[in-house]
Amino acid sequence: MKADDLMIGDYLHDEFGNTCVVRYLADVITIENLDGANAGEMILGTEFEGITLTAHILFINGFKIDGYAVLNIDSETHLEYYFPEHRLRKVWRGIDERDNHAEKTEISFQCHCFYVHELQHALKMCGVKKEVVL
């Protein structure tokens, strides 16, 4: 994966396998270890190793695991994560007042998430203000 795909706050592994977080983006990306120590810099275009998204990571971040993972956003909206295809989607289920109060299900967002930083991006795109915990 390319460093160009990162945002501030994204988690990744450095060249030594340590878990790091992106702290600054410019021509050079500054990363630091989770303990706050400076882990170095990456030049845009360089390769990095993402942290593989697992059921455990989803669970500790509030997803309920039952065949697939679900994170409730509000009473009508939730995120669903399907493990075999690593697919995340935002689902709304409720009463559509424009359609004679019929029950309706809408999928407003869908993407593939293989890595933690991709989940972080997807949460932001879905309007979920949540810090991912490792």
Report how far apart, in Å, the C-alpha atoms of 50 and of each of 12, 24, 53, 73, 95 are.
5, 17, 9, 26, 39
% the chain with pLDDT above 90? 61
Tokens, residue 50: 């993402």
Name 127's Cβ contacts closer than 8 Å, sequence gap at least 6. Answer: none
Name 104's Cβ contacts closer than 8 Å, sequence gap at least 6. Answer: 92, 93, 94, 95, 96
Name 129's Cβ contacts closer than 8 Å, sequence gap at least 6. Answer: none
Residue boundaries of the structural domains of the chain? 3-43, 55-125
pLDDT by residue (tens digit) across 8-32? 999 998 878 889 999 988 878 898 9
Q: What is the pTM of this model?
A: 0.87
Tokens, residue 118: 């991709």
Report how far apart, in Å, the C-alpha atoms of 53 and of each of 60, 105, 119, 120, 132 are.
12, 27, 8, 11, 11
HSE (side-chain half, CA atoms, 13 Å) at 77: 10
Among 35-49, 68-82, 116-130, the range scoring the smallest mean pLDDT is 35-49
pLDDT by residue (tens digit) across 77-98? 999 999 999 999 999 998 887 7
